[in-house]
A and B are shown apart, each in its own frame.
Chain A
Amino acid sequence: MTGAKSASSKPQPAGKAAAMCTQAANSHEAAGTSLHTGNGKPVPPGMHEREILRLECVSKLYGSGESGVAAIRDMDFTIHNGELTSVLGPSGSGKSTLLHLMGLLDKPTTGKVYIAGTDTTSISDADQARLRGKMIGFVFQAFNLISSFTALENVELPLMIYDVPKEERRKKATAILERLQMGHRLNHLPSQLSGGERQRVAIARALINDPEIILADEPTGNLDSKTGEEVLKIIEDLHQEGRTIILVTHDESLVKVTEKVVRIRDGRLVKSEVLV
């Protein structure tokens, strides 16, 4: 709210933003149609036709007045079902902010975020939480496991929130950890696991509710290159299953696994390209 006010009290950038927003939105519509064609990945035909996540004229302002920062400006783009998109940009360009906005962890100052056709800016916090829990799985650079819970308990947690009976959640969490080669570390606390193992647990937790969208913020950032490769392989596998994945990174070398790249700088979308 204060952000919105500050935008109008700062006529120069705000006016520019509003003007650019519609422009970008229009230009994106054109780009969007061309985006979801011609990738070489074996994704079931027709899946890409469905829009799953859309940003409409989204801006995020931090603070107000002279010290105010526009972390995201007039962002407009669409992600389709099953796409593996990387968001690339230098440090401070707004990648994490963008990911938080897409994952409903943060509210845009202006603009709208649609998930599976729902305007998330018009629903209650509790409904946002439910939508987030069911549709989105997060993988963070810092793993974000709960330190007093074991690997298995961390993975079970989303099911606990959704009232899944104990037996069932234990079975599901065990299965998913086993699939990620973590079957031998079920009862370890995060502090007893290596970085790569922690990230596997975090991925298992992100997957437990079978979300359509995986949002990953520098998932390999805290890992050595070999472990990073392994985690990247898991992400590719998830993509093969048909999940929609958005991978935020500043590491150009990760782009190779993705089929679409969104480049941002200073909170603006610079280029959106399809890789073949």
Chain B
Amino acid sequence: MKFQDSIEYAVKSLRTRQLRSWLTILGIVIGVVAMVVITSVTEGVSKSVTDMLSTFGPDKMFIVPVNIDKAMSSGSGLGGSQMPFGKLYQKDVDSVASVPGVKETARVNYGRATVKFKGKEIDTVVYGGDTKIFTIFGDFFQIDIGRAYTESERRVVVLGYDAANSMWGKDKAAVGSVMQINGKDYRVVGVMKDLGNGMAAHDNAAIFVPFDDGKELFKSQLAANEVTAIYIQVDTGFDPNEIKDGIERKIASNHRVTLENKDFSVITADFIRQTVGSILSLLSELLFAITAVATIVGGIGISNTMFMAVLERIREIGILKSIGATDRDIQLIFLTESALIGLIGGILGFAAAVAILFIAGQFGVPYLIRIRWVIFVFVFSIGVGVAAGYIPARQASRMEPVKALGYV
């Protein structure tokens, strides 16, 4: 028998096949969906983290009023004698600015506020920051339309892409329009670039006002001269780790704490890379293990259904032998059919996976489909089909024709 005829045979016999072949196909579909979705999302997450890190170079760092090491190891320090949370003040900003190698500092306060535009009211996070945040993190907070506010301006706002374009129903808050924050009028002067669906997506909803406006907005939530975070630009030619040490010593002495008991953290690109990297690799190892187990279990299920399917068709094997088919002809027929089942499962699974990823992407889940995955999926699914079909097909093909014919 020719290979093309065995394909014809397989297609004909799949036309009227029982539930079992479709269950086999379903098994492959589920395996493929699990693998493609999990891997694409893992790759998507690491890509968007890498992208974000690339905008956060080694010449940038920021300070937050919490000891992250302690918070992460003691479950946010609840019930602990030493709470890892502290506060940063204007005095700390001045100290940081005096550390050699620190080129620029920018202060940020943030909190919730009520934002109103064209009759729609939203309770959201508003950032009150020095205009220098747009230069220090210029790669990230890129102004697309309009401009950043200046040092001396008040009652102006720079909007993230979504904050301008999709938060207000069909209305858009374009440059020049006016919105109310906690009842006061603010004029839109700039709209930022769309940050896409990656890790940074939530910053598309960011709303920035000048530092002094923020101070006023969050007066009730902040201590006198408190600053929620400090952004730092480092001069070239300095070792970021030395600068970090210098900053830590200064603030620790301001806060009268030892470095072990510090109530703040200086976050550098290295720190993020290490922390995020270790979380991501743990995550992808876990997901890989789950997928591997699922695939093995699925593979056993597929072999089993394939085996049953071949058993059910032993009489057909007997008929084929009675009309002159050799063992090889029969193996070719069954292997082609198994491969076809695998291929159908692979195609359906891949299509389903792409659909799932696309829908998940609409909700901001980052994903990355690689071409080599398409190849892998088809090799995998055809391989599973053939592997699962091979042993039963070979055994069945070797039966005495009369035994196969008598099989019911």
**Interface code A127-149, partner B: CB below 8 Å = 1, 0 otherwise?**
00110111000101000111111
B325 (CB) vs chain A CBs: closest residue: A161
CA–CA, A125 and B321, complex, Å: 10
On whether the beta carbons of B324 and A134 are closer than 8 Å, the reply is: yes
Residues of A within 8 A of B402 (CB): 100, 105-106
Q: Which of B5, B16, B320 contacts A148 (CB 8 A)?
A: B16
A94 at the interface (CB under 8 A from B): no
Residues of B within 8 A of A163 (CB): 1-2, 5
On whether the beta carbons of B401 and A161 are closer than 8 Å, the reply is: no
On whether the beta carbons of B322 and A103 are closer than 8 Å, the reply is: yes
A30 at the interface (CB under 8 A from B): no
Contacts A105-B405, A148-B16, A149-B12; is A205 near B323 (CB within 8 Å)?
yes
Residues of A within 8 A of B17 (CB): 148
A211 (CB) vs chain B CBs: closest residue: B324
**Interface code B9-29, partner A: CB below 8 Å = 1, 0 otherwise?**
100110111000000000000
B242 at the interface (CB under 8 A from A): no
On whether the beta carbons of A125 and B327 are closer than 8 Å, the reply is: yes
Contacts A100-B402, A106-B400, A163-B5; is A125 near B12 (CB within 8 Å)?
no
B316 at the interface (CB under 8 A from A): yes
CA–CA, A147 and B321, complex, Å: 16
CA–CA, A125 and B404, complex, Å: 15
Contacts A107-B400, A146-B316, A148-B17; is A161 near B328 (CB within 8 Å)?
no
**Interface code B303-331, partner A: CB below 8 Å = 1, 0 otherwise?**
00000000000011011111111111100
A101 (CB) vs chain B CBs: closest residue: B402
Instruction: Report the minimum CB–CB distance from B321 to chain A (whole Å).
Output: 7
Residues of B within 8 A of A134 (CB): 324
On whether the beta carbons of B16 and A126 are closer than 8 Å, the reply is: no
A153 at the interface (CB under 8 A from B): yes
On whether the beta carbons of B12 and A153 are closer than 8 Å, the reply is: yes
Instruction: Report the minimum CB–CB distance from A211 to chain B (whole Å).
Output: 9
On whether the beta carbons of B400 and A133 are closer than 8 Å, the reply is: no
Instruction: Report the minimum CB–CB distance from B340 to chain A (whole Å).
Output: 14
On whether the beta carbons of B323 and A147 are closer than 8 Å, the reply is: no
Instruction: Report the minimum CB–CB distance from A271 to chain B (whole Å).
Output: 26
Residues of A within 8 A of B322 (CB): 103, 105, 132, 138, 140, 144
A199 at the interface (CB under 8 A from B): no
Instruction: Report the minimum CB–CB distance from A103 to chain B (whole Å).
Output: 7
Instruction: Report the minimum CB–CB distance from A209 to chain B (whole Å).
Output: 7
A47 at the interface (CB under 8 A from B): no
On whether the beta carbons of A160 and B9 are closer than 8 Å, the reply is: yes
Instruction: Report the minimum CB–CB distance from B214 to chain A (whole Å).
Output: 73
Interface range on chain A: under 10, 10 to 19, 20 to 34, or 35 or more? Answer: 20 to 34
CA–CA, A129 and B404, complex, Å: 14
On whether the beta carbons of B319 and A106 are closer than 8 Å, the reply is: no
On whether the beta carbons of B5 and A160 are closer than 8 Å, the reply is: yes
Residues of B within 8 A of A162 (CB): 324
Contacts A134-B324, A160-B5, A163-B5; is A147 near B16 (CB within 8 Å)?
yes
Contacts A105-B401, A106-B401; is A160 near B1 (CB within 8 Å)?
yes
Instruction: Report the minimum CB–CB distance from B248 to chain A (whole Å).
Output: 76
**Interface code A169-210, partner B: CB below 8 Å = 1, 0 otherwise?**
000000000000000000001000000000000000100010
Residues of A within 8 A of B401 (CB): 100, 104-106
CA–CA, A160 and B321, complex, Å: 13
Instruction: Report the minimum CB–CB distance from B4 to chain A (whole Å).
Output: 9
A24 at the interface (CB under 8 A from B): no
Contacts A103-B322, A158-B324; is A144 near B405 (CB within 8 Å)?
yes
A17 at the interface (CB under 8 A from B): no
Residues of B within 8 A of A20 (CB): none
On whether the beta carbons of A146 and B324 are closer than 8 Å, the reply is: no
Residues of B within 8 A of A106 (CB): 400-402
On whether the beta carbons of A130 and B319 are closer than 8 Å, the reply is: no
A31 at the interface (CB under 8 A from B): no
On whether the beta carbons of B324 and A132 are closer than 8 Å, the reply is: yes
Instruction: Report the minimum CB–CB distance from A167 to chain B (whole Å).
Output: 13
CA–CA, A106 and B318, complex, Å: 11
Residues of A within 8 A of B327 (CB): 125-126, 129
Residues of B within 8 A of A14 (CB): none
CA–CA, A162 and B324, complex, Å: 9
Residues of A within 8 A of B321 (CB): 105, 129, 132
On whether the beta carbons of A161 and B16 are closer than 8 Å, the reply is: no
B9 (CB) vs chain A CBs: closest residue: A160
CA–CA, A157 and B316, complex, Å: 12
On whether the beta carbons of A189 and B2 are closer than 8 Å, the reply is: no
On whether the beta carbons of B326 and A130 are closer than 8 Å, the reply is: yes
CA–CA, A134 and B323, complex, Å: 8
On whether the beta carbons of B400 and A209 are closer than 8 Å, the reply is: no
Contacts A125-B326, A133-B325; is A161 near B1 (CB within 8 Å)?
yes
Q: Which of A133, A145, A147, A189 contacts B324 (CB 8 A)?
A: A133
A106 (CB) vs chain B CBs: closest residue: B402
CA–CA, A145 and B15, complex, Å: 16
Contacts A106-B402, A161-B1, A161-B329; is A209 near B324 (CB within 8 Å)?
yes
CA–CA, A103 and B72, complex, Å: 79
A148 (CB) vs chain B CBs: closest residue: B16
**Interface code B325-359, partner A: CB below 8 Å = 1, 0 otherwise?**
11111000000000000000000000000000000
Residues of B within 8 A of A103 (CB): 322
Residues of A within 8 A of B320 (CB): 157, 161
On whether the beta carbons of B324 and A148 are closer than 8 Å, the reply is: no
Q: Which of B9, B13, B323 contacts A133 (CB 8 A)?
A: B323
**Interface code B36-49, partner A: CB below 8 Å = 1, 0 otherwise?**
00000000000000
On whether the beta carbons of B326 and A129 are closer than 8 Å, the reply is: yes
CA–CA, A163 and B9, complex, Å: 13
Cβ-closest 3 pairs across A and B: A133-B324, A148-B16, A106-B402
5 interchain pairs (CB within 8 A)?
A: A105-B400, A133-B323, A144-B405, A146-B316, A161-B325
Q: With contacts A100-B401, A144-B319, A148-B16 known, what are 10 further pairs, Cβ within 8 A? A: A105-B321, A126-B328, A129-B329, A133-B325, A138-B322, A140-B322, A144-B322, A144-B405, A148-B12, A148-B15
